[in-house]
Amino acid sequence: MITAVRIPGSLASAAEYAAAGGWIMAGGTVVMAQVNNGSVDASELISLRAAGLSGIRVADDMVHIGATTTFREVAELEFLADAVRTIASPSIRNLATVGGNLFVPQPYGDFAVCLLALDATVHIAGSGENRAAKVGEPLARGEIVTGVSFARPAAGTWFYRKAMRRKLNSAAIVAVAAVVHTEGGVVSSARIALGGVAPRPVRAVSAERVLVGRWLDAAALDEAGAAARADIEPFDDAYASAWYRTRVLPVHLRRAVLR
Amino acid sequence: MASTVVSLRLNGRPAEFLARPGTSLLSSLRDSLGLMAAKRGCAQGGCGTCTVLLDGRPVMSCLVAVETIEGASVRTLEGVAADDGRLDAVQSAFLDGFATQCGFCTAGMIMVAESLLAGNPDPSRDEVVEAISGNVCRCTGYASIIAAILDAARRKREVDVV
């Protein structure tokens, strides 16, 4: 049972409450659902609503997104708008935040997949020094994600595709996010992240290895997609079986890049 | 464990009530304020029947911790019709277009439509579909709901012209 909801007006104050064991809540789309079904394993909620962590800054092609920025706001970043539209529904995107998405279990958490592909830095504050982490690194008790930052990919190098059971508002069967650079049609670097196919977003390092040095065509992508099966730990759920996810992964990896 | 006094601007009027820690906006509306239009469906943000407008934008009220929105403006279906009971364009279009079957999703559908049409007076069918993509109609009456929202947009535009 929840016995207190803290609404700290500063990050330092939020970190103190978090160190004492409360659950951090940003948009509430995950935490309040757990409050409602009685599965919150804490007596205190710490809302970040007033902690001053919202907003997007773009400077010299570096993008910084505050942790409590909602997906409605993130959609204003043009290259991410298509990806954001695959996340839940507009009513959820009015609440759900970038920071919260990092903690959503797969097959949800599509934005964390994007951030992994973008090689984003996760900014973390706590009782000690502020630190920078990679997507997926665990947090210690009392630590709070304050925002994420990444270089905006050059035009034509960003790719995203999410296979769902419906066209809108459904979880990932397979999500593919990638930054692929080519020189003269040959892949010079590739960073590919997958959602829906493991308990957490994963890098498709085997696929990346296949692609580098190859012409970016269907044959190379099919080979990369098959190789990516080595990088996943697929699961069965109500949306798809592990078998199906494994089977269709190469198709969606190819379609993500060739469109 | 102490309850908190929460003040909101609710359907254009000030409202003040007590909330126990962790109470959702939906529970406050229904259990403390007696506003029963927003329905308690899944309590997980998956069905949309509890949708209300928070500072003008549709949200699932079951997912909003009411203590965290002190001072906010909330609009529910009860605040949509005119004070004399006259239905607005969206409500009239739902009624005339038989866009309600069991009625459980209707309050949420109408609130989403109110927000959509406030920002986009001439939405395409695809834009209507995306707007209601968080709202489940288990009678599967989507076709008539979408038609009613497009009809409401036409009605509002005609009124604006006159």
For residue A89, the chain B residues in CB contact (below 8 A) are 48, 133-135
Given a cut of 70, is residue B161 above it in pLDDT?
Answer: no
- Report the distance separating Cα B157 and Cα B162, nearest Å: 9
Mean pLDDT of B71-78: 98
Average pLDDT per run of 10 along chain A, which is 259 residues long? 96 93 96 96 95 97 98 97 98 98 96 98 91 95 96 97 97 98 96 98 98 97 98 98 98 95
Structural domains of chain B in order of their starting residue, each with its CATH number: 4-79 (3.10.20.30), 89-161 (1.10.150.120)
Neighbouring C-alpha atoms within 13 Å toward the C-beta of A2 = 30
Nearest residue on chain B to A23, alpha-carbon basis: B22
- Report the distance separating Cα B162 and Cα B155, nearest Å: 11
Mean pLDDT of B53-63: 98
For residue B149, the chain A residues in CB contact (below 8 A) are none
Q: What pLDDT is recorded for position B8?
A: 98
- Report the distance separating Cα A193 and Cα B15, nearest Å: 47
B6: its two tokens: 């929460």
Tell me the pLDDT tens digit for each residue of B105-119.
999 999 999 999 999
Say which of A2, A72, A169 has its CB closest to residue B133: A169
Residue from A118, A102, A94, A97 nearest A193 by CA: A118
Given a cut of 90, is residue B125 above it in pLDDT?
Answer: yes
Tell me the pLDDT tens digit for each residue of A155-182.
999 999 999 999 999 999 999 999 999 9
Q: What pLDDT is recorded for position A196?
A: 98
Q: What pLDDT is recorded for position A129?
A: 86
Nearest residue on chain B to A86, alpha-carbon basis: B130
**Which residues on adjacent β-strands are paired with residue A202?**
A194
Q: What is the DSSP string of B68-116?
A: GGTT-EEE-GGGTS-TT----HHHHHHHHTT--SS-TTHHHHHHHHHHH
B159: confidence class by pLDDT, cuts 50, 70, 90: confident
Rounded to two decimals, the ipTM of the complex is 0.96
Instruction: Please tell me the distance in Å from A51's CA to the nearest CA on chain B.
Output: 12
Tell me the pLDDT tens digit for each residue of B3-35.
999 999 999 999 999 999 999 999 999 999 999
Which of B6, B49, B68 is best to mutate for the A interface (most A CBs within 10 A)?
B68
Nearest residue on chain B to A85, alpha-carbon basis: B130
